[in-house]
Amino acid sequence: MKDLRFLCRLKEDEIVQKIVRLHASELWLKVLPWGIVLCIVSFFLFFLLRGGWIGILLAVVLVLASLYGIFQGFACWDGTALVLTNKRLLLLRRKRLWSRTVEEMPLSETRHVEARKRGSWRRIFALSSITVKGGQNQQFSLRSVTAADQFVESLKETRKML
């Protein structure tokens, strides 16, 4: 991820308290199908190249599409985070390769914080979902994160210091 100060636009008196990112399993779920497509194309590459210009075009399109899917999956995983500063809570979310949204909530407006574990997969790998509700029906939620309980405790401690 790029410099956090640039992405969050931190003010001079702001200090990052805690950062929570998605678990690596989210990366593999997005990258693995495109990796399989790339392996299949590599396996049948000589067959595709013997197919004339249609085979070459198909091979090039499949390789480029799988590389784009792999890069997009990594960028979405790397660009999604929940950042706690001493004054506000930021949700960095990347949905596509070139688009990013930054949502913020002042700590004084946070009303409810919850970390939940649901499902056997999440219990085995200690994955949780974090939900933060604030004023004006504002809600941040991030699923498949580790150390969610520590983040909730840090958020509560930071709110007490306000």
- Per-residue pLDDT at 15: 84
pLDDT greater than 70 at residue 153: yes
Q: Is the pLDDT of residue 19 over 80?
A: yes
In a domain, 53, yes or no: yes
Residue 39, in any domain of the structure: yes
Q: Is residue 60 part of a domain?
A: yes
Do 123 and 117 meet the contact criterion of CB atoms below 8 Å apart? yes
Identify the H or E element spanning 123. Answer: helix 120-124
The pLDDT confidence band at residue 126, using thresholds 50, 70 and 90, is: confident
Lowest mean pLDDT among 15-29, 41-55, 66-80, 113-127: 113-127
The number of folded domains in the chain is 1
The answer to whether position 27 is within a domain reads yes
pLDDT digits (tens, 9 = 90+) for 84-98: 998 899 988 888 777
DSSP string, 33-76: HHHHHHHHHHHTHHHHHTTHHHHHHHHHHHHHHHHHHHHHHHHH
Range of the domain at 125: 1-8+21-162
pTM as predicted: 0.79
Q: Flag whether 159 is in a domain.
A: yes
34 in a domain, yes or no?
yes
Give the percent of the chain with pLDDT over 70. 96
* Phi, psi values for residue 110, rounded to 5°: -70, 130
User: What's the pLDDT band for 75 if we cut at 50, 70, 90?
Assistant: confident
CATH of the domain at 28: 2.30.29.30
In a domain, 14, yes or no: no
